[in-house]
Structure 1
Amino acid sequence: MNWVRALLSALVCGPVATAADWPQWRGPNRDGHSADTVLLETWPANGPKLAWSLTDAEEIGTGYGSPAVVGDRLYVIGANGAKQTATEFVTCLSLKDGKRLWRRELVTTPGKFNDGWGGGPRSTPTVDGDAVFVLGSTGDLVCLSAEKGEVRWAKNFVKDYEGGIPTWGYSESPLIDSDHLLCTPGNKGGLIALDKKTGKTVWQCKELTDGAGYSSILVTEVGGVKQYVQQTMQSGIGVRASDGKLLWKVGGIRRAVAVIPTPVLHGEYVFFTSGYGAGCECFKLEKDGDGTKATEVYTKNKVVANHHGGVLRVGEYIYGHSDSSGWVCFDMKKGGDEPVWQNKGVGKGSVSFAAGFLYCYAENDGTLALVKATEKGYQESSKFAIPQKSKLRPNLGKVWAHPVIAGGKLILRDYELLFVYDISKPKA
């Protein structure tokens, strides 16, 4: 009878997370790392086997957000057109063959943002137990059931929290930490914690009045103090988890225009980077009474200036694209005036990591390079390009969704297009 109980529990609770899932922005730990380990280390010239693809805009809609994967299900948010007025919706697909399991249209709240780069959502769904949490481009935060996509509750950052829509739309992906959901409405909305089951406000950090950037929140603990780390349009910040108190705020680099990359954590250290000449900075977080202080390790460093695509850490090193240097390896704690190595590679793009390799996804042409994650130099194992490019995104838009590696699959999006490749090693 135990297996019967387990089956009934799964049917009631929805998809169950496993080690190889990608349940939220940048993977299980929000660090760009996949838990998959048994993956191909080289690919044929035309790429790994294409398991399935969706190329009709009616399937997943338009948007720049990456998918989330839990078990045999893939969740993605899109819109029915390339304008900011397009209705947004969430689609749940079978990871095996791309078959649609459900689709839920959202009540898209009118709001203004610059859609010259293309309308549609920019965020990644967050899957937690039997719920899916999504954030639309005009600040619609919605909780859905993972099983059928039924709406449980909804909020809007502008109407409910006096938030301010960023120039190119809200792009943050919600963070679930225990019973709470964390997000950044920005401006008078600050940073908020909600009850994930009801949407009720737990606390609101009104000390923070920075505009919302395009980054997403991380959770860490310093000297027994749990806190949320975020990058806004003006600052790097830490907010106490228990009550929403602003613990620290830093801003040595000149953040401007669009602040996009999610911070990187390494023990008590935090690393920030941004484009438009900002560069990067690193701080050591230390206990300070019942709070935390951020002590500068270095700032205004120009070696890593990441515009789009983010950076990630493997061991002691930061990897990603820098506007000034191409793809770089950089010692996170030591800093310095030179990268460990640099290489133009496949050109500017986003990056994810799995089983010892970087997956570098070029924003201009959708080329994906498999590069060994080592401080010993840029070592490209294989590369290929997605078979077709979006015909719907405006010319100013690029291939901005990050690679997702989950369940032995490599998932690549270009606006309304979705390609799923099998990169698992054959069984012996």
Structure 2
Amino acid sequence: MKNNNKTNTITPVRVWPGVVLVVLQWALRYVAPIIEPETIIIGVFGVLVFGLGIVVWWIFFSRAPRFEKWLPIPLTIISLYLTYQILDKSIATANMNLMFTMYSIPVMCLAFVAWAVISRNFSQRLRRITMVITIIAASGFWALIRTDGMDAEVHHDFAWRWSKTAEERLLAKKDHQQTISTDSSAISPLVEWSGFRGKNRDGIVYNLQIETDWKKTSPAKLWQKQIGPGCSSFAIQGNMIYTQEQRGENEMVTCYSLKTGDLIWLHSDSTRFWDAHAGAGPRSTPTLFESNVYTLGATGILNVLDASTGKLIWTRNAANDTKVTIPGWGYTSSPLIVDSTVLIAISGQILAYNITTGKPRWSGNDGGESYSSPQLFTIDGIKQILYTNKEGLTSYNPINGNILWALKWPGVRVVQPAQIDETSILIAADERIGLRRITVKNSENGWIIKEQWTTNKIRPDYNDFVVHKGYIYGFEGPSITCVDIENGNRIWKGGRLGGQLILLADQDILLILTEKGDIALVKASPDKFEELALIPAIKGKTWNHPAIAGNIFLVRNTEEMAAFKIPLTSI
């Protein structure tokens, strides 16, 4: 006799492939770049590949009931789409509008696989309810947060959407615009640090030797102050330091005391620029020349101010003098003064103005987006202005703007070119290409340009480099590297000190302000990578270039600034 009683059993979900896939996905995206920074791009694409793998596992190999196999697909798409409509602007626009996709996929994958593991023994009803809750929660929580920017390794600084920003906390202070009076001793004709990367825009300092054993004689912090956001560095004259920052709807040029960090004067323009990566505020650095300070704001306002009082001498909206479209990072050029001319760049176009009246003198062609600034070189005995943009490198006659010569080499231009000798120049492209050395010579038949070498053994990207005693010192991702100037071969690579640097040439020392806000000393020697000292300085992502006056080292980022007195050698 047959037994017709049937036992209803539910085949358990096979979860181990999903666990393996999500572990590999997160390891490739977040662990591998810690070990080898160059894997970050692979990690970003790996997120998509493993995400697709998890979909394939769930539909074809999970053994889940048919309804549960297919429900997550439309539910996830709808949930992510609806969340995207209410995202904070910082997340919606970051990473070229791709941040939500880049980050939501691994989070959703992790949440879904975790649900699959935890819910294996749930009842069918409870399993389906918790599935819906998991998908909605993994998507919807993105609407509750914002990003306050990212670092060079694409790690974002997340915060609750409703929490106050550093700028809002500064503005909440009643005395945030309170100025102090200054005595005549603070006003000095001596310019200690004229602006972006120093006197020659090369980041090199002479006639200064410091103690390098900071365990015995560590730099003393003179002061530390809150500051408005911006990527500006400092210019220094006497006891007065100049920078640019954002405070609410006002873009400001500010002057502080070198001794105390107190505000001396400020100039305000009613404009605001913001992007999801660097945040709000101006990107340029003030330039000092004689008794005036010259600034360019992120929306294109060119100001000339009295350095001692902040009184406006003349102003001009330089962006209106061009037809270029403002790039995603704003206008970033730091003004350059050559004789009686003020030179700036509005994205990929160089503009020249009369230093006294502000009237236009000449302008170059728009060569595509650029983050860099005009640079003065004397090449083969002839003074000229070099400017890099998306098309390549162009040399201009500073008097009339005539093009002397041009190098067509497409790429993303951020860092400044460097001069090796009378006829040799280094120019960077972007993180994919690296650095190129060229020679430029004047002849009876015109200028002759020859490529010496191109290397990807140093790819400065957003971090400037220096030339010293036959070698180039700069950054390859977060690591500092030394390259032979004769052939572009890498000598060594070490550390994780990505940031901006100053060369103390007489001592063969690199003084580095890291992206994490630390101050480091590294030996500028081809022998080996040698880190001499490292101390914390300021908190938060630090993209701003440092400045130095004597042995006073100035650092800042989008939240705070500080001054350190570095001990000098006793010799």
* Equivalent residue number for residue 438 of structure 2: 283
Q: Aligned match of 1:309 in 454, 458, 463?
A: 463
Matches within 5 A, 1:352-367: 352-354=502-504, 355-363=507-515, 365-367=516-518
Q: Secondary structure at the match of 1:158?
A: helix
Partner amino acid for 2:394? I
Cα distance in 1 for partners of 2:378, 2:446 equals 11
Q: Is the radius of gyration larger for structure 1 or structure 2?
A: 2
Query: Deviations for 1:28-83, whole angstroms, at most 9, x for unmatched residues?
Result: 1111012451422221389411011102xxxx3111111111121110110014xx
Alpha-carbon spacing, 1:291–1:106, altered in 2? closer, same or farther (3 Å)? farther
* Equivalent residue number for residue 236 of structure 2: 69
Cα distance in 1 for partners of 2:313, 2:552 equals 30
Measured after TM superposition, the shift of residue 224 of structure 1 is 3.5
Matches within 5 A, 1:338-357: 338-343=489-494, 345-354=495-504, 355-357=507-509
The answer as to 2:484 corresponding to 1:328 is no
* Equivalent residue number for residue 271 of structure 1: 426
With normalisation by structure 1, the TM-score equals: 0.84
Cα distance in 2 for partners of 1:99, 1:72 equals 11
Partner amino acid for 1:151? L
The answer as to 2:544 corresponding to 1:401 is yes
* Equivalent residue number for residue 15 of structure 1: 188
* Equivalent residue number for residue 322 of structure 2: 161
Cα distance in 1 for partners of 2:445, 2:240 equals 42
Q: Aligned match of 2:282 in 111, 121, 128?
A: 121
Q: Secondary structure at the match of 2:346?
A: coil
Higher relative contact order (CA 8 A, sep 6+): 1
Measured after TM superposition, the shift of residue 281 of structure 1 is 0.7
* Equivalent residue number for residue 563 of structure 2: 420
Q: Secondary structure at the match of 1:286?
A: strand
Measured after TM superposition, the shift of residue 282 of structure 1 is 1.1
Q: Secondary structure at the match of 2:279?
A: coil
* Equivalent residue number for residue 61 of structure 2: none
Aligned residues: 386
Cα distance in 2 for partners of 1:152, 1:172 equals 20
Contact 2:354 2:361 in 1 (8 A): yes
Query: Deviations for 1:369-395, whole angstroms, at most 9, x for unmatched residues?
Result: 101211111121111122x524xxxxx
Cα distance in 1 for partners of 2:264, 2:445 equals 48
Cα distance in 1 for partners of 2:244, 2:213 equals 31
* Equivalent residue number for residue 293 of structure 2: 132
Alpha-carbon spacing, 1:410–1:266, altered in 2? closer, same or farther (3 Å)? same
Contact 1:329 1:375 in 2 (8 A): yes
The answer as to 2:221 corresponding to 1:50 is yes
Measured after TM superposition, the shift of residue 96 of structure 1 is 1.1
Alpha-carbon spacing, 1:71–1:293, altered in 2? closer, same or farther (3 Å)? farther
Measured after TM superposition, the shift of residue 427 of structure 1 is 6.6
Partner amino acid for 2:384? Q
Alpha-carbon spacing, 1:277–1:51, altered in 2? closer, same or farther (3 Å)? same
* Equivalent residue number for residue 94 of structure 1: 257
Contact 1:348 1:362 in 2 (8 A): yes
| Higher share of residues assigned strand | 1
Partner amino acid for 2:474? G
**Uncovered stretches (5+) of structure 2, i.e. residues with no partner:** 1-182
Measured after TM superposition, the shift of residue 171 of structure 1 is 1.4
Alpha-carbon spacing, 1:251–1:322, altered in 2? closer, same or farther (3 Å)? farther
How much identity, in percent, do the aligned residues show?
A: 28
Contact 2:373 2:387 in 1 (8 A): yes
Measured after TM superposition, the shift of residue 320 of structure 1 is 0.9
Alpha-carbon spacing, 1:142–1:121, altered in 2? closer, same or farther (3 Å)? same
The answer as to 2:376 corresponding to 1:219 is yes
Partner amino acid for 2:539? K
Measured after TM superposition, the shift of residue 335 of structure 1 is 2.4
Matches within 5 A, 1:165-180: 165-180=326-341
Cα distance in 2 for partners of 1:186, 1:52 equals 35
Alpha-carbon spacing, 1:251–1:278, altered in 2? closer, same or farther (3 Å)? farther
Q: Aligned match of 2:447 in 288, 292, 295?
A: 292
Contact 2:332 2:347 in 1 (8 A): no
Cα distance in 2 for partners of 1:248, 1:68 equals 31
Contact 2:377 2:384 in 1 (8 A): yes
Cα distance in 2 for partners of 1:42, 1:376 equals 20
Contact 2:324 2:366 in 1 (8 A): no
Alpha-carbon spacing, 1:277–1:199, altered in 2? closer, same or farther (3 Å)? same
Contact 2:300 2:319 in 1 (8 A): yes
The answer as to 2:401 corresponding to 1:255 is no
Query: Deviations for 1:315-345, whole angstroms, at most 9, x for unmatched residues?
Result: 221111113x82111122x224x312111x1
Cα distance in 1 for partners of 2:200, 2:347 equals 24
* Equivalent residue number for residue 395 of structure 1: none
With normalisation by structure 2, the TM-score equals: 0.64
* Equivalent residue number for residue 78 of structure 2: none
Q: Secondary structure at the match of 2:342?
A: strand
Q: Secondary structure at the match of 1:106?
A: strand
Q: Secondary structure at the match of 2:428?
A: strand
Alpha-carbon spacing, 1:12–1:165, altered in 2? closer, same or farther (3 Å)? farther
Alpha-carbon spacing, 1:384–1:157, altered in 2? closer, same or farther (3 Å)? same
